[in-house]
A and B are shown apart, each in its own frame.
Chain A
Amino acid sequence: KAGVTQTPRYLIKTRGQQVTLSCSPISGHRSVSWYQQTPGQGLQFLFEYFSETQRNKGNFPGRFSGRQFSNSRSEMNVSTLELGDSALYLCASRPLETGGELFFGEGSRLTVL
């Protein structure tokens, strides 16, 4: 069974640009979550989607947005990039609506110059 797949794995952007990251969950998983990992702030929750609906959102500015498609694939977008957005963005999926462990992808490492 394929794991959580995230693309691209690495990318470099400049301040002011926007970026879109993609996540394909494990087949059959309908819940997708996104986390940001930085050396200073650690792992922080961005948002979670279930059946194309955002169920929960972390404490991030409106520049961070996401969506989920009918096939459970998810994308997150960051507009007007800032240097502080440089991070590893991790996507995770879960088979159930509630409960159960999260299965993480290897992440997309974003560098903002």
Chain B
Amino acid sequence: AQKVTQAQTEISVVEKEDVTLDCVYETRDTTYYLFWYKQPPSGELVFLIRRNSFDEQNEISGRYSWNFQKSTSSFNFTITASQVVDSAVYFCALSEIQGAQKLVFGQGTRLTINP
């Protein structure tokens, strides 16, 4: 069975600090997708990134970066120079590549950026 663990339930930092959100996953599939979503107070899940298990290259998008390490089954997310607008709940998720691809979500990390 697939499982995603986000051990950090809540994180609170001061604006401009760097912050890393941890994600560890379990799957028996050899190929899979990993995702990060952001959930602001409005409720909708906002897509941030999708990573194919074939591609272990790290990715950077502005202040956001992701570190995928297949050897440790981790897909961590770092926000550099955090801003108050980054405050939200962040979810890591896993899905198979073939088939209907339901997402298996972690429990989420509530990130609060204080001014």
Q: Name A residues whose Cβ lies closer than 8 Å to a Cβ of B.
A: 3-4, 33, 35, 42-45, 48, 50, 55-56, 58, 88, 90, 92, 98-107, 109
With A56-B99, A99-B97 in contact, do A109 and B43 touch (Cβ < 8 Å)? yes
With A42-B108, A43-B91 in contact, do A56 and B102 touch (Cβ < 8 Å)? yes
Partner pick for A99 among B43, B91, B101, CB 8 A cutoff = B101
Q: Is B42 an interface residue (CB 8 A)?
A: yes
A4→B45 CA distance, assembly (Å): 11
Residues of A within 8 A of B14 (CB): none
Residues of A within 8 A of B45 (CB): 90, 92, 102, 104
In the bound complex, do residue B105 and residue A101 qualify as a contact, i.e. CB atoms below 8 Å apart? no
With A56-B99, A56-B102, A58-B102 in contact, do A101 and B43 touch (Cβ < 8 Å)? no
| B108 to A, closest residue via Cβ | A42
Q: Is B107 an interface residue (CB 8 A)?
A: yes
Residues of B within 8 A of A101 (CB): 35, 47, 50
With A42-B108, A43-B91, A101-B50 in contact, do A106 and B42 touch (Cβ < 8 Å)? yes
Interface majority SS on B: helix, strand, loop or mixed?
loop
In the bound complex, do residue B43 and residue A88 qualify as a contact, i.e. CB atoms below 8 Å apart? yes
Q: Is B100 an interface residue (CB 8 A)?
A: yes
Residues of A within 8 A of B35 (CB): 101
A102→B105 CA distance, assembly (Å): 13
Residues of B within 8 A of A42 (CB): 105-108
Residues of B within 8 A of A109 (CB): 43
Partner pick for A106 among B43, B107, B108, CB 8 A cutoff = B43
Among A4, A35, A109, find the residue whose CB has the most chain B CB atoms closer than 10 A: A35
Residues of B within 8 A of A102 (CB): 45, 47, 103
Partner pick for B43 among A44, A103, A107, CB 8 A cutoff = A107
